Structure 1
Amino acid sequence: MDSLSPNIFVNDIDKTIDFYKTLGFKVAMTVPDEGNFVWVMMTCGKVNFMFQTFESLGSELPEISRQNGGSLLLYIQIKEIRQFHDKIKDKVKIIKGLEKTFYGATEFSILDNNGYILTFAENEE
């Protein structure tokens, strides 16, 4: 295996693009190329997320829940976590503050605009 790029289903792809731009992500690809997007790939460093509208699924893959959020936590390793935390803390909903864990990582967690949890972590020296 070479990489993992989650395809996350959302109701409002435009609001999702705006939210993830706040975190430093950039749009890499869209479907269609212009207009009302049904799919987008966003990147930040080595992290890639794909976002797709529930509507675009139609009746395909009925096993995928058709609601926002869920039992998924996206764990993202970053550098300079304290600076990143300070940069976004007033722009996002922080659900678990900056703390040092028993396993040595410094982490904090946020809730994205779709109800998904993102935990940012750094193994500080």
Structure 2
Amino acid sequence: MKFTALHPMLYTNALQETIDFYTGILGFTCAERNEEWGWASLHKDEVEIMLAKPNAHIPFSQPTFTGSFYIRTNAVDELWQSLKDKVSVVYAIDNFEWQMREFAIYDNNGYMLQFGQQIESA
């Protein structure tokens, strides 16, 4: 048995605003959207994120997640420069002892997104 992909599903009551954040600020493409389901699929390079309005079977008052979404990139400094003045920053770009250069931001729902690049290739 082999796992082949992970596509997180982020719940939001602000579907259009979330699509706008990911497409307008982060450069994702909205590949598919279903108004009846309250669902959308967003893509950028090898990353896919699904968005959904919570249904009646899911207790939901506001977006919560106890971790973060870590996205590797091959141009972390360039990405930082393009985002830092447009988003809510969790921590600024820096080099870390685990050999990663990274930064973190919040999306429009408060989900934390981290972006990192191995220092050897930075």
TM-score of the aligned structures, taking structure 1 as reference length: 0.87
- Cα distance, 1:61 vs structure 2: 4.1
- Cα distance, 1:88 vs structure 2: 1.2
SS in 1 for 2:22: helix
SS in 1 for 2:94: strand
> Does the 8 Å contact 2:9/2:49 carry over to 1?
yes
Work out the CA distance in 2 between the residues paired with 1:41 and 1:101.
Answer: 32
1:24 is aligned to 2:19: no
1:78 is aligned to 2:77: no
SS in 2 for 1:108: strand
Unaligned regions of 5+ residues in structure 1, if any?
A: none
Work out the CA distance in 2 between the residues paired with 1:80 and 1:53.
Answer: 32
Give the aligned partner of residue 51 of structure 2.
51
Q: Classify 1:25/1:37 alpha carbon distance in 2 versus 1 (closer, same or farther; 3 Å).
A: farther
Equivalent residue letter for 2:39: W
Equivalent residue letter for 1:104: Q
Work out the CA distance in 2 between the residues paired with 1:39 and 1:117.
Answer: 20
Give the aligned partner of residue 6 of structure 1.
8
Equivalent residue letter for 1:6: P
Counterpart mapping for 1:29-44 below 5 A: 29-32=32-35, 38-44=38-44
Task: Give the ranges of 4+ consecutive aligned residues of structure 1 lying more than 2 Å apart after TM superposition.
Answer: none
> Does the 8 Å contact 2:15/2:51 carry over to 1?
yes
Give per-residue Cα distances to partners, 1:6-44, cap 9 Å, x unaligned.
011001001001110110111011113xxx771000011
Equivalent residue letter for 2:6: L
Work out the CA distance in 1 between the residues paired with 2:30 and 2:67.
Answer: 22
Q: Indicate which of 100, 103, 109 corresponds to 2:98.
A: 103
Give the number of aligned pairs. 117
Q: Classify 1:94/1:115 alpha carbon distance in 2 versus 1 (closer, same or farther; 3 Å).
A: same
Give the CA RMSD over aligned residues. Answer: 1.5
Work out the CA distance in 2 between the residues paired with 1:61 and 1:114.
Answer: 17
Unaligned regions of 5+ residues in structure 2, if any?
A: none
